[in-house]
A = this chain, B = another copy of it.
Amino acid sequence: MTALKNESPSGSPSLSQTELRPIVRSQLQLLLEANNLPEAKALLAPAQPADIAEAIEDLPNPLQAIAFRLLPKDEAIEVYEYLDLEVQQSLIEEFRGQDVLDIVEQMSPDDRARLFDELPAKVVTRLLSQLSPKERGATALLLGYEPGTAGRIMTPEYISLEEGWDATQALAHIRSLARASEMIYYLYVTDSSRRLTGILSLRDLVVAQPEQTIGDIMVREVVSVQTDTAQEDVARLIQRYDFLALPVVDAERRLVGIVTVDDVLDVLEAEATKEIYQLGGVQSGDASYFQTNLLTVAQRRVVWLLVLLITNTGTSAVIRSQQDVLEQVVALTAFIPLLIGTGGNVGAQSSTVIIRGLNTDELRSTKPWAVIGREAIAGAFLGIMLGAVVLLWAYLLQGNLVVAIAVGTSLVSISVLASVAGSSLPFLFQRLGFDPALMSAPFITTFVDVLGVMIYLNVARLILKL
């Protein structure tokens, strides 16, 4: 759950009376501290569940339970589903017996499965045993699938119809289930052994003639996923087809649940975060980075840094082996960081666009060679422009034309090399079955460091005729 608080320059969203602004939130805390519960209740009444949840999260721990108890029962469940897992857990511990059960029983099965993942096993066992058989079955079903799969993020609360029913019967059925179902706008048609045979939307049903049968109206070509399909693939399918939900079937094509578009929005955000972290050389975990303890944070980062450090020892070895050049013309040293730094930046740009292109499937039908060639030409362009600037700067700084020429020409070659490495290594990694994002900016930068130093010192040796 994330909050919207961006002050965008082009006009902040008009949320009218519905959003709890920061000032109102601190007022909520004051009212609760003064034990003025009727006023606090009145303050919360017109707000959206997501906003109430955020206001409760911001309260000091002991007040959270008090504020939560002020909510009408129906709303309490909705608000609870929006709370951070941490706050959900602490409220569960705060409440006892029937209170807890009322909430947990009413949660949607996918949210409940997510909460149960985080609770101590003992609490989960106790809660599960107290749920009604129907809810217990739904939760146990979801908990049986791997996290990150369609089975885990689906909800079993869909509406299924039979082919033989007419539109009037179907509408009556929907009316009776509408309150308990998470999604009533897509309707799923199954046969006697629960196999998915068709799909129709509430829109199709509403415009149908009352006596038409479901079999007549429904679409038989159904896009579905399996319980073990990765959640990011589910998200991409929903995004591709502009669906509001996608049915999930088991190995026998029996319908077991649906994934709804609101969950997909969260999956896409989580995927973007994972990708961005990888690009920055940070291993991403399940919990939020900012809620993880420092030791875990250091752990998640040190592995990458060590790999890069070991790669970078190559630069020391190269310089060491070429030390005679540097001893003769110490002036060359001044431009090492500038050359490899710029090379790293050029390479980072290439790898960023290629990795993003691979991850969004934009590069699916393009030949790798065409892309790498294009990047090489771009690298040459950039290298010539930057090389000219650097040549001038080097000459001004040292007054040594030979050194300046060595620096300028090296930059052109480093720039081409960096573009080629930055664009080809992600392809290579994908081909080998690894995640292309492993070839991210930090890795490319380090790789270019090693080769850049080698190029520079050899070019210098050549030009200086040593």
Taking beta carbons and an 8 Å cutoff, which residues of A are in contact with B? 1-6, 8, 10-19, 46-48, 50, 58, 146, 148-149, 171, 174-175, 178-179, 184-185, 202-203, 206-207, 221-226, 228-230, 232-234, 236-242, 244, 249, 261-262, 264-266, 268-269, 272-273, 275-277, 279-282, 288-290, 294, 297-298, 301-302, 304-306, 308-309, 312-313, 315-317, 319-320, 323, 326-327, 330-331, 333-338, 340-342, 344-346, 348-349, 351-353, 356-357, 360-366, 371, 374, 377-378, 381-382, 385-386, 389-390, 393-394, 397-398, 441-442, 445-446, 449, 453
Contact = CB atoms under 8 A, between A and B. Distances in A.
B241 A244 contact: no
Given A341-B446, A349-B282, A374-B294, A184 B171 contact: no
Given A334-B319, A445-B344, A3 B266 contact: no
- Give the interface SS of chain A, mostly helix, strand, loop or mixed: helix
A279 B352 contact: yes
A434 to B, nearest CB: 11
What is the total number of copies of this protein in its complex? Answer: 2
Contacts of A289: 353, 357
Contacts of A230: 8, 10-11
Contact of A206 (B171, B317, B334, B348): B171
A6 B236 CA distance: 10
A221 B14 CA distance: 12
A58 B364 CA distance: 11
A259 to B, nearest CB: 11
A461 to B, nearest CB: 15
A314 to B, nearest CB: 9
A341 B179 CA distance: 58
Contacts of A16: 221-224
Given A206-B174, A309-B338, A15 B223 contact: yes
A175 B2 contact: no
